[in-house]
Amino acid sequence: MTWFTVDTRYVEDRDLLAAARPAHRDYITGLVETGQVVAAGPWADDLGGFVVFKVTDRAELDKLLAEDPYTTESVAADRAIREWKILLGPWAG
């Protein structure tokens, strides 16, 4: 399995964010249940959010992000995606 971090910056349209947020949270909750997401949440300033994915490869990550309501509803203004090599801690393995 491959770990990825996804740091998302939201659009400035707070109404669009509020409208899409429930569907996005339901979607991410489903990915938590399958083990594909291990941590997720908005930054304290609510200008973006951060998700830790555990997936087979980048292609799987890209597919999951394409289906995220923050993508389909144009809430994600920008995403910084990085592969993460965990060496220490409970997720290391």
What CATH number does the domain containing 9 carry?
3.30.70.1060
Is residue 89 one of the residues assigned to a domain? no
Distances (CA, A) of 3 to 44, 74, 87: 23, 25, 11
Instruction: Tell me how many domains the chain contains.
Output: 1
DSSP state of 11: P
pLDDT of residue 93: 76
Model pTM above 0.85: yes
Integer-rounded Cα Rg, in Å, for the chain is 13
Domain range for 60 is 2-84
- Close Cβ partners of 61 (under 8 Å, ≥ 6 residues apart): 2, 4, 6, 53, 55, 81
Is residue 73 one of the residues assigned to a domain? yes
pLDDT of residue 71: 98
Is residue 92 one of the residues assigned to a domain? no
pLDDT tens across the length of the chain (93 residues): 999 999 999 999 999 999 999 999 999 999 999 999 999 999 999 999 999 999 999 999 999 999 999 999 999 999 999 999 999 999 997
- At 32, which helix (H) or strand (E)? helix 14-34
pLDDT of residue 60: 98
